């Protein structure tokens, strides 16, 4: 009889101990008032002022989550800033799409065709301008340097100007240099320089006056290109031609999000011997480097999310261990496992959302401070920008908040399954 009695749910001693324990816990629950929802109970125990060692663990979990979320937001803002700043520099210099001949030969300057192309795509195309590239040598006093003269039309805006002449002299041909070349050759505004062009077997010399100085921050451009009027280069190349020619046309788009599909549409409207190429495909080395930043961004975000999830799950386990007596009491009083799990899910949610919101405020705040004051400086020769660029995308911030919350909720399900393994008798002994 004694053996069969011991095989019941509780021994007589355990039943008595359980009764006393429940009565004591009822007194504690009275202090909580007659709360009926798991949310209210979770709120009460989460914001309790009683001191325990788990308080430190909870604070550490919140801090770790905040740091992870802030790091994710900063990573996104910095990568966005790099991609936007560098691609915008390249696009400002070259446009978005380039039109050239299939065999690389000069194209006849066909203004009617270009005007028709603009009208057919006026919602997509902002501007189309002709260009010519001509290798030359620039000379000033005793200094010379090999460069490429980029012929641009009068309607094309000059990118990256940092100095501009206010003196207009119609008798001088204007030229715009980079600050790198200007320092290297000791040239300043209003100085006269000479360009030497190889035309067949003869060298032709032209005099130009410096009317502007630009700085793009990309060494390959600053050390290589000077800008002169398109008509000057056309006169050199087409002395006896009835129709002027150009090397190609630069297309500037209103929106670059669908640049490949726009390029295909433009290609279908061009003559058979004309070809259109997007600038990312024309200069893949720069845009491949920009694309690599996406990989770095994804790796950093994954690591930060793992750190946040591990800290939150560990914190939830510790909270459950501390509340084993409470779990036993609720079980003994008839509370379902689902009800008890909800309590800890809500409690973990309080911690997670506190960390997420704090991290968002810190991440956005630091991003705005860098955006306004530019405290972090970079090596422009290596990164193409002088100041660490920042670009905040609101939809990404919302995605970080919701994504972290969803992943956290899914991660919380695993430790709460442990509630089923806790028996009232074990909970009493644990207490």
How does pLDDT run across 92-125, given as a tens digit for each residue? Answer: 999 999 999 998 889 988 889 999 999 999 999 9
341 has pLDDT over 70: yes
Task: Please give, one letter per residue, the 3-state secondary structure of the chain.
Answer: CHHHHHCCCCCHHHHHHHHHHHHHHHHHHHHCCCCCCHHHHHHHHHCCCCCCCHHHHHHHHHHHHHHHHHHHHHHHHHHHHHHHHHHHHHHHHHCCEEEEECCCCCEECCHHHHHHHHHHCCCCEEEEEEEEEEEEEEEECCEEEEEEEEEECCCCCCCCEEEECCCCCCCCEEEEEEHHHHHHHCCCCCCEEEEEEEECCEEEEEEEEEEEEECCCCHHHHCCEEEEEHHHHHHHHCCCCCCCEECEEEEEECCCCCHHHHHHHHHCCCCCCEEEEEHHHHCHHHHHHHHHHHHHHHHHHHHHHHHHHHHHHHHHHHHHHHCHHHHHHHHHCCCCHHHHHHHHHHHHHHHHHHHHHHHHHHHHHHHHHHHHHCCCECCHHHHCCCECCCCCCHHHHHHHHHHHHHHHHHHHHHHHHHHHHCCHHHHHHHC
For residue 345, tell me if it sits in a domain: yes
Residue 308 lies in a domain: yes
Residue 105 lies in a domain: no
Residue 31 has a pLDDT of 43
Q: Give the whole-number percent of the chain exceeding pLDDT 90.
A: 49
| Domain identity same for 246 and 296 | no
Question: Are both 353 and 421 inside the same structural domain?
Answer: yes
Task: Report the number of distinct structural domains present in the chain.
Answer: 2
| Domain housing 379 | 16-86+291-430
Task: State whether 136 and 192 are in the same domain.
Answer: yes
Residue 146 and residue 209 in one domain = yes
Q: Do 411 and 301 lie in a common domain?
A: yes
Query: What is the pLDDT confidence band of residue 30, given thresholds at 50, 70 and 90?
Result: very low
Indicate whether 381 and 310 sit together in one domain.
yes
pTM: 0.81
Q: How confident is the model at residue 166, as a pLDDT?
A: 63
Does some domain include residue 56?
yes
Identify whether residues 426 and 297 lie together within a single domain: yes
426 and 296 share one domain:
yes
Judge whether 125 lies within some domain: no
Averaged pLDDT, 238-254:
84
Residues 139 and 217 in one domain: yes
- Whether residue 116 lies inside any domain: the answer is no
pLDDT at 226: 96
Q: Indicate if 68 and 156 belong to the same structural domain.
A: no
């Amino acid at each position: 009889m004694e053996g069969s009695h011991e095989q019941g749910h509780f021994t007589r001693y355990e039943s008595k101990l359980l009764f006393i324990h429940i009565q004591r816990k009822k007194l504690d629950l009275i202090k909580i008032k007659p709360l009926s929802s798991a949310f209210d109970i979770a709120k009460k125990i989460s914001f309790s002022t009683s001191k325990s060692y788990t308080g430190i663990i909870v604070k550490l979990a919140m801090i770790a989550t905040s740091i992870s979320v802030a790091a994710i937001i900063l990573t996104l803002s910095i990568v966005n800033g790099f991609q936007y700043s560098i691609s915008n520099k390249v696009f400002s210099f070259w446009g978005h799409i380039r039109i050239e001949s299939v065999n690389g030969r000069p194209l006849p300057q066909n203004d009617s065709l270009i005007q028709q192309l603009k009208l057919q795509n006026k919602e997509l195309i902002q501007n189309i301008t002709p260009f010519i590239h001509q290798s030359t040598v620039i000379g000033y006093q005793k200094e010379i340097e090999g460069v490429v003269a980029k012929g641009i039309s009068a309607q094309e805006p000059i990118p990256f100007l940092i100095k501009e002449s206010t003196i207009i002299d119609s008798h001088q041909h204007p030229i715009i240099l980079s600050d790198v070349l200007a320092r290297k050759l000791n040239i300043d505004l209003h100085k006269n320089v000479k360009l030497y062009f190889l035309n067949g077997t003869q060298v032709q010399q032209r005099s130009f006056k410096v009317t502007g100085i630009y700085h793009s921050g990309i060494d390959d451009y600053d050390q290589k290109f000077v800008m002169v009027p398109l008509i000057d280069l056309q006169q050199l190349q087409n002395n006896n031609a009835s129709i002027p020619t150009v090397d190609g046309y630069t297309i500037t788009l209103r929106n670059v999000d669908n640049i490949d599909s726009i390029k295909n549409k433009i290609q279908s409207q061009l003559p058979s011997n004309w070809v259109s190429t997007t600038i990312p495909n024309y200069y893949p080395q720069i845009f491949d480097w920009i694309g690599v930043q996406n990989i770095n961004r994804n790796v950093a975000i994954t690591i930060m999310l793992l750190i946040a999830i591990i800290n939150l799950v560990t914190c939830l386990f510790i909270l459950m261990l501390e509340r084993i007596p409470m779990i036993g009491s609720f079980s003994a009083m008839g509370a379902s496992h689902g009800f008890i799990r909800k309590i800890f899910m809500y409690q973990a949610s309080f911690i997670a959302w506190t960390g997420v919101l704090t991290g968002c405020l810190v991440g956005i705040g630091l991003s705005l401070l860098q955006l306004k004051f530019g405290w972090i400086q970079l090596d422009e020769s290596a990164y193409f920008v002088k100041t660490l660029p920042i670009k905040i995308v609101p939809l990404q911030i919302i995605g970080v908040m919701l994504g972290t919350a969803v992943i956290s909720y899914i991660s919380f399900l695993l430790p709460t399954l442990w509630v089923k393994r806790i028996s009232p008798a074990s909970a009493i002994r644990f207490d």
